[in-house]
Chains A and B, each alone.
Chain A
Amino acid sequence: MQVKTMAEFAAEDKQPEILFWVGCAGSFDDRAQKITRAFAEILTAAGIEFAILGDEEACTGDPARRAGNEFLFQMVALQNIETLNMYGVKKMVTACPHCFNTIKNEYPALGGHYDIVHHTQLLQELIDDGRIKMTEGGDFKGKRITYHDSCYLGRANGIYEAPRDVLQSLDGQLVEMKRSKQNGLCCGAGGAQMWKEDEPGDKRINMERTDEALSLNPDIIAVNCPFCMTMMNDGVTGREKQDKVMVYDLSELVVRSMQRS
């Protein structure tokens, strides 16, 4: 896949339409890389000229800040802002709600002001504008899909409808968990929990959430976050349902359902 970096655009003295902020999970985690590729494919198919930062991208600092390590957060955040401002970046999109939240809500106080959207918002826009079209009777027609709200897209940023609108376009059967939208239950990975063992308790949080999703007998659990992806995948595997229930990011569902020219 040919993807140009900001440096390459700059060398040609050009600006891309939008910067795709890939994030650490999307860059390095095997499962999340598939999400990254799917989303890049959609952008290409929609004819959007986009760039990535490549190795000039650094962690946004979200897990460090939430663990309490403000020094580390400031170091990487200020470094990112330097890079972004040097390239004159204005418009950004990311497939990670943690990166999205940090860049949108926390970088302004450090001098970084960007117009950033989460990929589910951009997907909705592309579908609404007809820039990507769904096939009739795609892979997911009639499938039972339940959508897991991530905390950082949902409660932290109030985005509940855009991802649901995207799912509606798949012609599947959207079934809601009891704890959804404002009342959604965390997957258990936020606040840097992803990197540590759970504190002692009765149950892992991802198992609690997976059990809730599985109780609806879904074919697909749809997520919008690479962290939720890991947690829900682990949960489904833990319940030995990985052959029956798939966990997909929204961009993976869209890429498999869209018309290709």
Chain B
Amino acid sequence: MVQSIVFALVAVLALGFAYFQFRKVYAHIRIGKDEDVSGPAGERWKNMLLVAFGQKKMFKRPIPAILHFMLYVAFVLTQIELIEIFIDGIFGVHRWFLGPLGGMYNFIISTIELLSILAFVATVIFLVRRNALFIPRFHKPEMQGWPKLDANLILIFELILLACIFTMNGTDVVLQDMDPDHYRATNFAVSGFLGPVVFGGMDASTLHVLERVGWWGHIIMVFVFLNYLPKSKHLHILLAFPNTYFARLKPRGEMINMPEVMNEVKSMMGLGDPNAPEPDMNAALPEFGADDVNEMSWIDVLGAYSCTECGRCTSVCPANITGKKLSPRKIVMNVRDRAEEMGDKIRSGNMEFAADKEAPLSRTNFDDGRTLWDYITREEIHACTTCNACVEACPILINPLEMINKMRRHEILTEASGPGDWMPLFNSIENQQRAWSVGSSRTAWTQDA
């Protein structure tokens, strides 16, 4: 009875706090501008099933893909056990599913156990890969400090969780001989022999305590995990699904059109709609492109929150490979960091951060004197060759190039700055409609063969 009450309290607190945190993540993602996500739902479901659920793009690198898949399947299936933990916890029963499921129960738990062994092996290999082997993408400058600790913490949590599961099941198996009424006989694939090997010979009271430690440890680790996710790169286990669903379906080579610029140029060229209303000359000049997350699209911010910092994008970036400062992963991480900062400031209600002090603080009425340029340097943005290698590399369809393009647009269109080297190019295109300023005629090549 006491245990049931404690369990219910812990569960309500953990789930409540998690809800509060996930709502914050959602609010931060919505700092991004609206973007139309209409378009064939069938194609979106297909993307989500193949890329997120089926992990299709992970398999470009088979070794981490197989290890990751083992962890993933174990993680997903272990959640079935969670249902029972909740039933047992609330009603104070023990292994409630064993009765109704019988032999099926042994099969399910045995499957989970076998997968958990694989997950354990994968987690240990991941820790070794990350800390002992020199894999360059894990050691870039943006991975120092919290991101490195974050990655290791997740793996350590995973090991604790698995240790708890096996303690719970293993002690249960040994206790079945001592107290067969409460600990009903099971036939688990791993704990069936591992339990007696590890816990055999211990006295009943120790085993009872260990069994409870395993059971409570498991559920508490699940709660810790759930509340840790919103702060962690590990959020990808949830957001990979919406991120692949909402990923843009346009051709990869297409830069998103800017209708507001198109219409203005059309009217300049006399191509506009003659019935369109006169533009308001007194209206404030709009900002083009993005120098902050509230100018990015919510799909960009969703991508930033979905990123697990694996660094596949950075490891194939031609600029990064040749020692330039640009790292697509860092751009994505910076967008999330800035979204956190802006979101927290908006929620604070501190009018110091309002652009218009008379109006309520919001994603549009916000100015804290900082922008993404406080996180990202011009040099990084200028180094991009728009080659799409980062886009191709991302296992969950995040598009770092889109963020870079928006920052370039802001720099040129809104700030009227940018690399000086580009001035002759722009002048040549503007005055002579060509990217090369040398040569006389476009038909010269026909003359001197």
Contact = CB atoms under 8 A, between A and B. Distances in A.
Interface of A: 1-3, 5, 22, 24-29, 33, 36-37, 40, 52-55, 57-59, 61, 63-72, 74-76, 78-79, 82, 101, 104-106, 109-110, 151-152, 155-157, 182-186, 188-193, 195-205, 207-209
A195 B425 contact: yes
A22 to B, nearest CB: 7
B370 interface: no
A36 to B, nearest CB: 5
B270 to A, nearest CB: 10
Interface residues of B, number: 69
A72 B430 contact: yes
A106 B422 contact: no
A33 to B, nearest CB: 4
Contact of B253 (A37, A64, A152): A152
A30 B441 CA distance: 13
A41 B434 CA distance: 24
Interface in B75-110: none
Interface in B113-130: none
A66 B408 CA distance: 8
B316 A3 contact: no
Contact of A200 (B316, B379, B409): B379
B196 interface: no
B288 interface: yes
Given A69-B426, A203-B322, A27 B445 contact: yes
Contacts, number: 223
Contacts of A55: 441-443
Interface of B: 60, 250-255, 257-258, 261-262, 264-266, 268-269, 271, 288-289, 316, 318-319, 321-326, 379, 382-389, 391-392, 405, 408-413, 418-419, 421-422, 424-426, 429-430, 433-436, 438-439, 441-447, 449
A54 B253 contact: no
B253 A25 contact: no
Nearest to A197: B421
A126 to B, nearest CB: 21
A204 to B, nearest CB: 7
Contacts of B251: 104-105, 156-157
Contacts of B318: 185-186, 188, 205, 208-209
B319 A78 contact: no
Contact of B433 (A54, A79, A104, A156): A79
A188 B321 CA distance: 11
Contacts of A203: 322-323
A82 B387 CA distance: 29
Contact of B410 (A40, A68, A190): A68
Nearest to A100: B253
Contacts of B439: 27-28
B408 A67 contact: yes
20 contacts: A33-B444, A61-B429, A66-B408, A67-B418, A70-B409, A72-B426, A78-B266, A151-B389, A155-B252, A155-B392, A157-B251, A157-B253, A186-B318, A188-B318, A195-B421, A199-B326, A199-B379, A199-B382, A200-B324, A202-B322
